[in-house]
Amino acid sequence: MPWLALRLEVEAGAAEALSDALLEAGAQSVSVESPEGPRTVLSALFAEGTDPAATLRRALQSCGQAPDVRYAVEPVPDDDWVRRSQAQFTPIALERLWVGASWHQAPADAKLVVRIDPGLAFGTGSHPTTKLVLRFLERSLRGGERLLDYGCGSGVLAIAAAKLGASQIAAVDIDPQAVSVTHENSRANRAAVDAFLPEALPPGRYDVIVANILAQPLIDLAPVLSAHAGQGTRLALAGILQSQAADVAKAYAGRFEMHVAELDEGWALLAGAGR
């Protein structure tokens, strides 16, 4: 199937937020070129028949960037984008978790292996925001927890939670494709994960809630996530630039004791405990 590549140049400091926003808005993948300079080139991949320009406008609006950027759209053969996608995805190794694609060889001493191939839903484990939440899960899960992953994308966080011993896991995404991909990836990893669209999520409270999205959606979701929390529920929020952390924390302060738990490449992990 032919693909379309949207290419644009942005300020280096804005590249990560726009990359995430493009993925949330519908891009199949986003690669970053020339990250060491003051300007960065983003290349976003779209299925033929979609509207990359409209997706870019939504992404710029969602992350508060100027709408008048210059861009180009060109066709890309299948084999070119697959090689590009595979080349930019490298496995990550944490204390207990190893996350890689099907073509990577897991080290012999890997304790818990999660395999996620880049595809139609965001989340391979390699982005700093995903790594922040994976490290939170390693620190926090002891086994037997009920966990909610809101904005699950590929299901990488939910699957990792299952590997780490969570006993009941619900994964939620507004994108039906992400729900389907999470089911597929969970089966491939032999992980017990139930994935839902938001309206299908059963009522209930969770011991742990994680959400790796973007700052404004997280602010909007504060009442929703709070409704699934009880006293002592552990909350971890990511997809937040360090400069946005105070605003997001304020949205949750009525129900959680929030603090910045960790920083990685300018991204913040907000964590808290339910009151």
So what's the pLDDT on residue 15?
83
Lowest-confidence segment of 47-51, 78-82, 167-171 by average pLDDT? 78-82
Lowest-confidence segment of 29-33, 35-39, 171-175, 218-222 by average pLDDT? 35-39
- Euclidean distance between the first and the last CA atom of the chain, given in angstroms as a whole number: 51
So what's the pLDDT on residue 45?
80
3-87 belongs to which CATH class? Answer: alpha beta
pTM of the model: 0.72
Average pLDDT value for the chain: 87
Return d(Cα 25, Cα 92) in angstroms, integer.
26
Lowest-confidence segment of 9-13, 33-37, 59-63, 169-173 by average pLDDT? 33-37
- Please answer whether residues 165 and 142 qualify as being in contact, where contact means their C-beta atoms are separated by less than 8 angstroms: yes
Average pLDDT over residues 142-154: 95
Q: 141 falls in which pLDDT band (50, 70, 90)?
A: very high
Average pLDDT over residues 236-259: 93
Supply 169's token pair.
């896991």
So what's the pLDDT on residue 89?
65
- Please answer whether residues 92 and 107 qualify as being in contact, where contact means their C-beta atoms are separated by less than 8 angstroms: no
- Please answer whether residues 40 and 33 qualify as being in contact, where contact means their C-beta atoms are separated by less than 8 angstroms: yes
Q: Out of 3.40.710.10, 3.40.50.150, 3.40.640.10, 3.40.50.620, which CATH number does the structure's domain 123-274 have? A: 3.40.50.150
Supply 79's token pair.
């084999």
Of 154, 33, 141, which Cα lies nearest the Cα of 95?
A: 141
Instruction: Show the DSSP H helices in the chain as ranges.
Output: 15-25, 52-62, 78-88, 128-140, 156-163, 176-188, 215-220, 222-227, 245-252
Is 90 exceeded by the pLDDT of residue 150?
Answer: yes
Which one is predicted more confidently, 257 or 37?
257
Is 50 exceeded by the pLDDT of residue 193?
Answer: yes
DSSP string covering 58-72: HHHHHTT--S---EE
Q: 82 falls in which pLDDT band (50, 70, 90)?
A: very low
Is 80 exceeded by the pLDDT of residue 86?
Answer: no
Per-residue pLDDT tens digits for 14-43:
887 888 888 888 887 777 765 555 778 888
Cβ atoms within 10 A of the Cβ of 48, count?
A: 10
Return d(Cα 135, Cα 262) in angstroms, integer.
10
Supply 203's token pair.
């009522």
Cβ atoms within 10 A of the Cβ of 102, count?
A: 8
Which long-range CB contacts under 8 A does 50-53 form with residues at least 24 apart?
50/4, 50/26, 52/4, 52/6, 52/27, 53/6
Lowest-confidence segment of 69-73, 84-88, 171-175, 241-245 by average pLDDT? 84-88
Name the residue ranges covered by the structural domains of the chain. 3-87, 123-274
So what's the pLDDT on residue 90?
77
Average pLDDT over residues 115-122: 65
Which residues make Cβ contacts (< 8 Å) with residue 17, sequence separation at least 6?
Answer: 63, 65, 214, 241
